[in-house]
Structure formats: structure tokens, C-alpha cells
């Protein structure tokens, strides 16, 4: 229709893309001024890389549950990676953030039948927060406006089993593994009187403690939670079935 070098039709598109990429910085600036202000910023789903991800906190949790049901039943969606790649080149708007374990058997994108750009995933053996994890999740909340954080533990977690042995057998570990164990032992100690299955009790306690700690240790996360723009939940991944049991 027109010469590509002279065509001005491309200009509005370029400008829109610039504005989209600037949006994250604008949100970050607003966040630093207080999340109360950010909560009033309207979300224009049409301008987001994945408009379908602009959901409420309750809808985000429901979407995680429905995705997990598909994964459990083996009827997963077909993900159009080539289309997603193009849409995501200019930005991201995931519908949930995950604090999960590094365990190779627990892969969040599979577990919740989600594509790229859907989940903002932080993983460390034992799924607990430290300063770096907290900073990453604060970024997800303040800049990417994720409406939900899931602390995802799992059965037979090796990191928490190590912390259990540190307490019950005075086990010691080489290198930086000891640092992981030290971070997990408070949750084990809390349930150390458990007679039946100390490991299972510690896994659940660790999830609950980190759900609480996210708000307790982060002003950004606490304010978003209090404003109702963020839900924080915990869940346990069952290894044999793939089912995630969400904690009440
Ligand atoms: Zn684990």
C-alpha cells in the first residue's frame, strides 16, 4: 500500500510498543511511591502480551487449579509456542508467581498446564524465601502485577528430609547445603513432636511459614495483599498423581 521507508502507518505501532515496554518502568516508579497508588492504575488488558492473563486473584487461583486438573487427567492444552514467542518478545504479564522447590519432578509449567509468559517461577531446594527470592517475587508483584503467589512444596522433599535428619540424627552436610538446611530447620523444629510422619508435617509447616513470611518480610507484598490485589496460597504437589492439594 505504501513505500516502507516513507510509510507513517508504522509510527503509531512503534509508539504503542514503546509505551508498552515503558509501562513496567512506570509501574515500578508508582510502586516505589506506594502500592496504594498502583492499585488504582487501570489495567488495559488489550495492550498486554497475554490479555487472557489479566485476571483477578481468585481467577488466578482457579486457573492454577483447572490447569492442574488437566495435568492430572493427562488432557493438556496444545501450546502454540511460535505464536507466544512473538507476543512475548515485547514484555510479560504472568497470571501467577510460584515459589517452588528445585526438585526435577515438580515442574510448575507442566503441573499447571501453562505456557511461557504465564508463570513467574522462582525455585530453590526446599521452596523457602531468602533475600533474592523475596526480591524476585517483589518484582513480580510491583512491576508485573501478578495477582497470585503460590508457595509450592511437594512430597518427599529431599531438602526438608535433610533438615529433618539434621535435627533427629544431628546430620551435617558439606558446602552450602548446610545453608539450605539451616533455613529449613525452624519449620522442622516447630513440628518435631509429630509422631506419625515428621517429614510430611515439616513439608506442610514450611509452606505455611513461607506463605506468612512473604507478607511479614515484604512491605510490597503485604500492601498488595492488604489492598486485595494479591492472594498468597500454599500447595503440596503429590508425586505419584501430579495433584496439587491447596492448603486451607
Ligand atoms: Zn524439594
Residue ranges of the chain whose pLDDT lies below 70 = 1-44
How far away, in angstroms, is 84 Cα from ligand 1 center? 30
Residue 32 CA, ligand 1 centroid: distance in Å: 34
Give the model's pLDDT for residue 44.
57
Between the CA of 156 and the centroid of ligand 1 the distance, in Å, is: 7
Cα 170 to middle of ligand 1, angstroms: 20
CA of 3 to the centre of ligand 1 (A): 58
Three-class DSSP labels, the chain: CCCCCCCCCHHHHHHHHHHHHHHHHHHHHHHHHCHHHHHCCCCCHHHCCCHHHCCCHHHHHHHHHHHHHHHHHCCCCCCCHHHHHHHHCCCCCCCEEEEECCCCCCCHHHHCCCCCCCEEEEECCCCCCCHHHHHHHHHHHHCCCCCEEEEEEECCCHHHHHHHHHHHCCCCCCCCHHHHHHHHHHHHHHCCCCCCCHHHHHHHHHHHHHHHHHHHHCHHHHHHHHHCCCEEEEEEECCCCCCEEECC
Cα of 11 vs centre of ligand 1, distance in Å, is 50
Which pTM value belongs to this model?
A: 0.83
Q: What are the sequence ranges of the domains in the chain?
A: 10-246
Give pLDDT, residue 237: 98
Question: What's the CATH fold of domain 10-246?
Answer: Beta-carbonic Anhydrase; Chain A (3.40.1050)
Amino acid at each position: 500500500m505504501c513505500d516502507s521507508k516513507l510509510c507513517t502507518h508504522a509510527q503509531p505501532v512503534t509508539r504503542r510498543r514503546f509505551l508498552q515496554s515503558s509501562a513496567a518502568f512506570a509501574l515500578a516508579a508508582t510502586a516505589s511511591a506506594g502500592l496504594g497508588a498502583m492499585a488504582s492504575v487501570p489495567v488495559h488488558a488489550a495492550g498486554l502480551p497475554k490479555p487472557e492473563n489479566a485476571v483477578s486473584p481468585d481467577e488466578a487461583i482457579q486457573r492454577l487449579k483447572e490447569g492442574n486438573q488437566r495435568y492430572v487427567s493427562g488432557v493438556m492444552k496444545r501450546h502454540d509456542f511460535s505464536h507466544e514467542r512473538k507476543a512475548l518478545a515485547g514484555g510479560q504479564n504472568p497470571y501467577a508467581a510460584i515459589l517452588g522447590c528445585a526438585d526435577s519432578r515438580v515442574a510448575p509449567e507442566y503441573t499447571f498446564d501453562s505456557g511461557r509468559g504465564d508463570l513467574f517461577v522462582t525455585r530453590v531446594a526446599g521452596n523457602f524465601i531468602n533475600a533474592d527470592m523475596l526480591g524476585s517475587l517483589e518484582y513480580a508483584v510491583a512491576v508485573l502485577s501478578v495477582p497470585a503467589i503460590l508457595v509450592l512444596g511437594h512430597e518427599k522433599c529431599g531438602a526438608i528430609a535433610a533438615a529433618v535428619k539434621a535435627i533427629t540424627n544431628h546430620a551435617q552436610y558439606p558446602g552450602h547445603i548446610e545453608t539450605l538446611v539451616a533455613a529449613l530447620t525452624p519449620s522442622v523444629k516447630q513440628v518435631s513432636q509429630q509422631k506419625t510422619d515428621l517429614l510430611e508435617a515439616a513439608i506442610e509447616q514450611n509452606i505455611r511459614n513461607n506463605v506468612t513470611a512473604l507478607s511479614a518480610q515484604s512491605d510490597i507484598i503485604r500492601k498488595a495483599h492488604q489492598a486485595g490485589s494479591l492472594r498468597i496460597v500454599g500447595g503440596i504437589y503429590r508425586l505419584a498423581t501430579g495433584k496439587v492439594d491447596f492448603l486451607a
